[in-house]
């Protein structure tokens, strides 16, 4: 499955506003005309933008953007990670047709905070707004969404993870970002984290697109059933959001939990993936 990203930032801002409007009118679903009017767009223009991003009708998509959608996902598309692992999920199960290959930095490299490591960075487009991509010679090491935080905060967050690395702007990054969000081919990840964090991130990679699991299920999967809070912290420290799908981890109650790059982005991701599952 391929997606166009040339207008991704604009589409995401439209969807972000749609979330706010739908939340404000949660007691009564809006018609296409009403929703378009609330967003100061013509019905035809809104329909075009909406369909390009969501792939399903505005009426159906409103169900994915409601606050109750997370609970519905837990009831209908909850993933037991032991089952997912035994099924050998890869490629389409993780992220459309994108096959993820990854390696972790050595403990020594991690402890040195990236000292001696050259990290290229740049900005690209995505269905969820502008994205900051960072990469070493061995693969992508950072992926951050700037729509809620802004560029400066996103870059500061990434730099703080590897404070001793050498950062240089990479001319190849925009094309790399486009390839990632088209979801075709291979993606090499160079993960920088502690052993516990790596275990959590590996578990996250077992959750199929359009499905969810819980923090407690992840804790059980990695052999630390009582470490739910520590799992939540490790999920939040995932350096390559979306590629390692931390947005698919929810609270057992059906609450969204947190999201490092803003809950509107998490809700948009879950809704977008649900619509893709429905559209086939």
| pLDDT of 74 | 67
Cross-strand bridge partners of residue 99 = 186
Contacts of 243 (CB under 8 A, 6+ apart): 95, 98, 100, 140, 143, 180, 187, 189
| pLDDT of 82 | 58
| pLDDT of 163 | 94
- Looking at the annotation, which residues are catalytic? 246
Cross-strand bridge partners of residue 142 = 134
Q: What are the φ/ψ torsions at residue 149 (nearest 5 degrees)? A: -100, -30
Rounded to whole angstroms, how far apart are CA atoms 247 and 260?
9
The residues of the chain scoring below 50 in pLDDT are 1-6, 84-97
| pLDDT of 141 | 93
| pLDDT of 70 | 64
Number of H helices, E strands in the chain: 14, 8
Neighbours of 66 (CB within 10 A): 17
């Amino acid at each position: 499955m391929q997606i166009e990203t040339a207008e991704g930032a604009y589409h995401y801002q439209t969807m972000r506003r749609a979330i706010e409007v739908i939340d404000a009118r949660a007691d009564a679903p809006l018609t296409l005309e009403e929703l378009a009017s609330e967003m100061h767009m013509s019905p035809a223009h809104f329909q075009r933008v909406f369909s390009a991003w969501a792939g399903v009708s505005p009426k159906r998509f409103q169900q994915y953007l409601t606050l109750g959608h997370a609970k519905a996902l837990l009831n209908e598309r909850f993933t037991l990670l032991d089952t997912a692992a035994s099924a050998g999920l890869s490629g389409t199960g993780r992220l459309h047709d994108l096959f993820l290959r990854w390696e972790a930095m050595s403990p020594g490299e991690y402890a040195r905070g990236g000292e001696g490591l050259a990290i290229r960075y740049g900005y690209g487009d995505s269905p969820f707004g502008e994205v900051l991509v960072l990469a070493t010679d061995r693969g992508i090491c950072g992926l951050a969404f700037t729509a809620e935080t802004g560029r400066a905060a996103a870059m500061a967050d990434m730099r703080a993870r590897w404070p001793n690395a050498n950062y240089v702007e990479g001319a190849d990054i925009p094309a790399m970002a486009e390839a990632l969000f088209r979801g075709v081919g291979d993606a090499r990840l160079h993960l920088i984290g502690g052993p516990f964090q790596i275990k959590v991130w590996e578990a996250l990679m077992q959750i199929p697109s359009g499905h969810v699991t819980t923090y407690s299920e992840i804790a059980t999967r990695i052999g630390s059933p009582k470490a739910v809070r520590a799992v939540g912290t490790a999920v939040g420290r995932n350096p390559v959001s979306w590629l390692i799908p931390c947005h698919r981890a929810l609270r057992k109650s059906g609450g969204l939990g947190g999201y490092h790059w803003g809950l509107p982005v998490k809700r948009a991701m879950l809704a977008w993936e649900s619509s893709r599952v429905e559209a086939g």
